[in-house]
């Protein structure tokens, strides 16, 4: 599908990003998967090359681009099946909380490092007994003079072991309405009482470190609170639109790449004396996948354009997160089948894509929660 979303300078940026990924990412992917983490040098190299937080203004150490530059980074990572180098999480999910809700002192303190790669970020919302229901979190933060004391546990935290700072959601008033009881805090890696738990073994996203975090009488300066006390829930709701759009973007790009590679494979793979692409079943399956991918591209590009324009798209981004993640699951499953036994081998990217795809229906709010949000937006 011909796209008219990007301007010439965006396409030049894509060429630059693609070159960086071929040089600095692809040769290291196997080692990252074995280690279960991306090395710090890669983060700093990405920062030096302008891939991190490309939308941040020059005043805060950024290149002064826009969200479309982030879209390009996400798409180019998907092109090489790199699900563990969590640049989109850092650039488009975590750092925007600091950029939007932080004061000038906080922005000056943290944003330049986020852009350079010297600071890697994470966000801690999910708890062992609380997933999509943010109002039910149990982590607390009590004021003690010029500090807050945080107690609680978080789990499934991407970049949990690698991060230099983590945005933590905690209750600052257990007696208040749950939607007015949560505050957000930036906890730095050396904060006393901040404990990194075990690295969690996962089904997919092998090169992304995911861990448990604990806060045991963890003391952070009051100056590390983002925005007013009790405003955390509203902040989270405001930023979840972009988070869910980011999931849709990644899913769409992954589905497109799997389809491209599967078409190429079926033209090369021989069975009964001819390429398997010449069998009607193969053609029909790929025609169905291609149709879903084309429909998804039209939808997601329209949402990206409207999001960049500042529209309120909670319903539509929830739809995208739900539909694109489910579409990816369908497409990668059909494509893997066409690889036969090789599709089950980890050396083939389609196998890893299959495992990576499953979590997209779970994180950033499960797809069941997306349906609840959509229904509410429909006034049902």
Q: What is the pLDDT of residues 238-285, one digit of tens each?
A: 999 999 999 999 999 999 999 999 999 999 999 999 999 999 999 999
pLDDT (0 to 100) of residue 258: 98
* pLDDT above 70 coverage of the chain, percent: 99
Name the burial class of residue 35, with classes exposed (0-12), middle (13-18) and buried (19+) by CB atoms within 10 angstroms of its CB: middle
Residue 356 has pLDDT above 90, yes or no: yes
Query: Residue 53 CA to chain centroid, in angstroms?
Result: 13
The CATH code belonging to domain 234-377 is 1.20.140.10
pLDDT (0 to 100) of residue 179: 81
Residue 178 has pLDDT above 80, yes or no: no
At 198, which helix (H) or strand (E)? strand 194-199
CB contact burial 12-30 (16+ within 10 A = b; e otherwise)? ebbeebeebbeebbeebbe
| Distance (Å, whole) CA 316 – CA 36 | 34
pLDDT (0 to 100) of residue 2: 83
Residue 131 has pLDDT above 80, yes or no: no
- Tell me the per-residue pLDDT of 43-70, one tens digit each, with 9 for 90 and over: 999 999 999 999 999 999 999 999 999 9
Q: What is the mean pLDDT of residues 77-95?
A: 97
Residue 144 has pLDDT above 80, yes or no: yes
Provide the pLDDT confidence category of residue 36 given band limits of 50, 70 and 90.
very high
| Distance (Å, whole) CA 261 – CA 305 | 28
- Tell me the per-residue pLDDT of 306-323, one tens digit each, with 9 for 90 and over: 999 999 999 999 999 999
pLDDT (0 to 100) of residue 173: 85
pLDDT (0 to 100) of residue 246: 98
pLDDT (0 to 100) of residue 360: 97
- Number of CB atoms found within 10 A of residue 326's CB: 17
| Distance (Å, whole) CA 292 – CA 328 | 9
pLDDT (0 to 100) of residue 174: 78
- Tell me the per-residue pLDDT of 181-219, one tens digit each, with 9 for 90 and over: 999 999 999 999 999 999 999 999 999 999 999 999 999
- Both structure tokens of 209: 């470190």
Domain ranges of the chain: 8-118, 122-228, 234-377
3-class SS of residue 51: coil
pLDDT (0 to 100) of residue 19: 98
| Residues constituting the chain | 380
| Distance (Å, whole) CA 283 – CA 40 | 44
Contact 119, 110 (CB under 8 A): yes
- Number of CB atoms found within 10 A of residue 192's CB: 9
Selecting among 243, 256, 326, 334, the annotated active-site residue is: 243
pLDDT (0 to 100) of residue 345: 96
Q: ∠ CA 130-197-115 to the nearest 5 degrees?
A: 90
pLDDT (0 to 100) of residue 186: 98
pLDDT (0 to 100) of residue 322: 98
| Distance (Å, whole) CA 174 – CA 182 | 9
Q: Classify 217 in phi/psi space as left (phi over 0), alpha (psi -120 to 50) or beta.
A: left
- Both structure tokens of 197: 């738990």
- Relative to beta strand 182-188, strand 165-171 is antiparallel
| Distance (Å, whole) CA 273 – CA 79 | 31
- Relative to beta strand 121-124, strand 165-171 is parallel
Provide the pLDDT confidence category of residue 129 given band limits of 50, 70 and 90.
confident
- Tell me the per-residue pLDDT of 286-306, one tens digit each, with 9 for 90 and over: 999 999 999 999 999 999 999
* pLDDT above 90 coverage of the chain, percent: 94
Beta bridge partners of 215: 152, 194
Provide the pLDDT confidence category of residue 135 given band limits of 50, 70 and 90.
confident
Task: Give the chain's mean pLDDT.
Answer: 96
Per CATH, the architecture of 8-118 is what?
Orthogonal Bundle (1.10)
Q: Under CATH, what is the fold of the domain 122-228?
A: Butyryl-CoA Dehydrogenase, subunit A; domain 2 (2.40.110)
41 is catalytic: no
| Distance (Å, whole) CA 151 – CA 138 | 9
- Both structure tokens of 139: 């982590």
Match 């979590």 to its residue by tokens.
359
pLDDT (0 to 100) of residue 1: 73
pLDDT (0 to 100) of residue 158: 96
| Distance (Å, whole) CA 189 – CA 61 | 22
pLDDT (0 to 100) of residue 241: 94
| Distance (Å, whole) CA 50 – CA 62 | 8
């Amino acid at each position: 599908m011909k796209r008219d979303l990007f301007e010439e300078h965006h396409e030049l940026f894509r060429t630059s990003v693609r070159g960086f990924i071929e040089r600095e990412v692809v040769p290291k992917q196997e080692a990252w998967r074995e280690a279960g983490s991306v090395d710090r040098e890669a983060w700093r190299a990405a920062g030096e090359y302008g891939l991190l937080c490309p939308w941040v203004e020059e005043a805060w150490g950024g290149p002064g681009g826009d969200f479309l530059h982030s879209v390009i980074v996400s798409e180019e990572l998907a092109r090489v099946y790199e699900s563990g180098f969590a640049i989109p999480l850092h650039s488009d999910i975590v750092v925007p909380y600091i950029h939007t809700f932080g004061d000038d002192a906080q922005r000056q303190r943290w944003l330049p490092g986020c852009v350079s790669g010297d600071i890697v970020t994470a966000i801690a919302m999910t708890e062992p007994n609380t997933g999509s229901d943010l109002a039910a979190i149990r982590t607390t933060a009590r004021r003690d003079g010029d500090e807050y004391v945080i107690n609680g546990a978080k789990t499934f935290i991407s970049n949990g072991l690698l991060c230099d700072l983590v945005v933590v959601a905690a209750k600052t008033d257990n007696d208040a309405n749950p939607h007015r009881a949560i505050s957000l805090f930036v906890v730095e890696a050396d904060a006393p009482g901040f404990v990194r738990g075990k690295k969690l073994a996962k089904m997919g996203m092998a090169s992304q470190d995911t861990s448990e975090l604990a806060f045991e009488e963890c003391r952070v300066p009051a100056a590390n609170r983002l925005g007013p006390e009790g405003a955390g829930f509203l902040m989270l709701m405001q930023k979840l639109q972009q988070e869910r759009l980011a999931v849709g973007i990644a899913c769409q790009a992954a589905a497109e790449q799997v389809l491209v590679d599967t078409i190429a494979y079926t033209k090369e793979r021989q069975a009964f004396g001819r390429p398997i692409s010449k069998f009607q079943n193969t053609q029909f399956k790929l025609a169905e996948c291609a149709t879903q991918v084309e429909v998804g591209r039209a939808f997601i590009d329209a949402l990206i354009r409207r999001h960049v324009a500042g529209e309120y798209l909670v319903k539509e981004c929830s739809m995208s997160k739900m539909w694109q993640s489910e579409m990816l699951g369908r497409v990668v499953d059909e494509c893997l089948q066409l690889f036969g036994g090789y599709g089950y081998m980890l050396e083939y990217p389609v196998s890893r894509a299959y495992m990576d795809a499953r979590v997209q229906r779970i994180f950033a709010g499960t797809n069941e929660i997306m349906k609840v949000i959509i229904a509410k937006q429909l006034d049902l």
